[in-house]
Chain A
Amino acid sequence: EAQVTQNPRYLITVTGKKLTVTCSQNMNHEYMSWYRQDPGLGLRQIYYSMNVEVTDKGDVPEGYKVSRKEKRNFPLILESPSPNQTSLYFCASSSLGRGLGDTQYFGPGTRLTVL
């Protein structure tokens, strides 16, 4: 089954304690991306990756890091989480084979609470 998986699904942590949210896709997609979803603000892009070892900032990259060492994985790293990073996070992937507009497939989301 084609899917994007994220772990953990729920996480409660404290300010300053480094954490990693994993994302994996099994569709051999080149493009992967992280979003955060906050009420009234929709989904905002944090980072994206066009392929292995190629990453770039989205709209709200401050406080986050990513890496793309393998095509299927795109972890999101919070080196020193703060309460304003409490949010619902989504990973997404898509093919770039047809150029603009390929369907982005979203993972199930990770609800993060930073105390």
Chain B
Amino acid sequence: QQQVKQSPQSLIVQKGGISIINCAYENTAFDYFPWYQQFPGKGPALLIAIRPDVSEKKEGRFTISFNKSAKQFSLHIMDSQPGDSATYFCAAVSAGNMLTFGGGTRLMVKP
């Protein structure tokens, strides 16, 4: 049973478009929500993260939106570029720094 559900599994976006990846969680003990970016042959790397006391966090072209009541959060990539093509994982952190990952979204940005 996955505690963090991620959708879609794959996404194709044209260059310059907006990529949107959604995640939902069940465990209310989660209180930190990072997003990881993974390129082929590499380990995941932290992209952006949010705590549930804010509804939105923006870093450059990447924005996390957080809806605590719905237990949902999403990643928006504005002006998507071919270099953004990667697999994206949402995650949720509980006590002891334990990460629970979503299933991943493979993003392809077409030139």
Contact = CB atoms under 8 A, between A and B. Distances in A.
Interface of A: 4, 31, 33, 35, 40-45, 48, 50, 56, 58-59, 90, 92, 94, 96, 100-104, 106-109
Interface of B: 2, 4, 6, 9, 31-32, 34, 41-46, 49, 51, 89, 93, 95-104
Given A48-B97, A100-B31, A101-B49, 11 more contacts: A40-B104, A41-B2, A41-B103, A42-B89, A45-B98, A48-B96, A90-B43, A100-B95, A101-B34, A101-B93, A106-B44
A90 B49 contact: no
Given A42-B6, A101-B51, A58 B98 contact: yes
B38 to A, nearest CB: 8
Contacts of B4: 42
A101 B97 contact: yes
A43 B51 contact: no
B43 A107 contact: yes
A67 B62 CA distance: 38
Contacts of B98: 33, 45, 48, 58
A10 B32 CA distance: 33
A96 B93 CA distance: 13
A9 B90 CA distance: 25
B46 A104 contact: yes
Nearest to B102: A42
Contacts of B89: 42-43
B46 A103 contact: yes
26 contacts: A33-B98, A42-B2, A42-B6, A42-B101, A42-B103, A42-B104, A43-B44, A43-B99, A44-B101, A45-B99, A48-B98, A56-B96, A90-B44, A92-B99, A94-B97, A100-B31, A100-B32, A100-B93, A101-B49, A103-B34, A106-B43, A106-B44, A106-B45, A108-B41, A108-B43, A109-B41
A100 B32 CA distance: 7
Q: Chain A CB within 10 Å — which of B2, B32, B99 has the most?
A: B99
